[in-house]
Structure 1
Amino acid sequence: MIPADILQAALLGFGTGLALIVAIGAQNAFVLRQGIRGEHVPAVVLICALSDALLIAAGILGIGTLIEAAPAVVVIIRFAGAAFLLAYGILAAKRAIRPGALTASEQQGSLSRKAAVATVLALTWLNPHVYLDTVLLLGSVANSQAGEARWWFGGGAMLGSIVWFSALGFGARLLRPVFAKPVAWRILDGLIAVVMFALGLRMAFGA
């Protein structure tokens, strides 16, 4: 039988992890879009969950102190991430406003496996908030747990990430009937563009 303190740490990690990732953001918007299209979903979900696991483990191991000691690195990541988000937002805006100006592939928003993997990696690792929230915050909370409970907390947070991204990526297919009409895709791309622009500008100005 699992000791009560261990189970409590795991559940706390699960809830804390979900609280940090269940929000409208660039990564979630991309996973949702790929899920609705049914394109490379297993690869996208796996990368998101594995990335979170690596970042959570890094936080527990104390890598957060290195990040705090090298703020210039976070600044570089911040500007690179902002540039990527703004560029992605421009493409989404073009699909929403003038689909006729794009190629057939761009109108449909199809991505090759390589492009999808590169995009989700960029959306994940070029986001400075990932290092602040996942590495520093989750790492700090995890290390406040006694003994091995910190790793149970981390395991719970990793499980939360797996559950969320799997539900978002694979569950998005339930929305496909809604997106059978081209106008629905234009609306979604418009919303994605707004999210990307807002996050990109916020990131660029250090908010």
Structure 2
Amino acid sequence: MIRILIVEDEIIIARFIERQLQSNFACTTRIAVSSAEARTAMAEMLPHLLLCDIHLEEELTGIHLVSELRRRYAFEVIFITSYQTRTIIEQAAAANPANYLIKPIDEMQLFAGVQLVISRIQSNSQTGKAFLQPNTLFSDTELRILQLIREKKTTQEIAETLHLSRYTIKNHRHAICRKLDLRDENNALLKWVAENGAFIK
């Protein structure tokens, strides 16, 4: 299922986009009304696609936000704006968006714009993932759990070492698997740690 993050500070427009997406595509959606919310949503949701307003009501533009997020995540972006000047379009084009929609957006314009991008997402297995930066991707507890997995510790041994319950450790492991887009099973995480253990500090 495609994960889509809508970065739009006009909540009425954001809700309209969300309703249209959910009606027309097999997707999960989330709305962020600021760059701060977008950063949080990126880490928690790892979206395949951003629908991002260029003009956010803050110093950071949508173009700058996308450039920042692309240093850490792989995703496609569709810029949305009411501005149609050549300068804005050229700035947006430099961020290599998959599409560009002009407000006011209607149902068919949104459907066509997103449908084209979904085809690109489905052919790219890296989209919707974070670049491997363990110190920023994982919490301190998650990093410690990964270190203990690397040391071949069992869930019970990890729980005893960290003075946490087995249930809590399992929840952390589930969160780690989701961030890494792994199936939530021991062998998948063990294999990942074996292959990437050197990056875990």
TM-score by length of 2: 0.27
TM-score by length of 1: 0.27
- Larger RCO, structures 1/2 (Cα 8 Å, 6+ apart): 1
Greater Rg by CA: 2
More strand per residue: 2
More helix per residue: 1
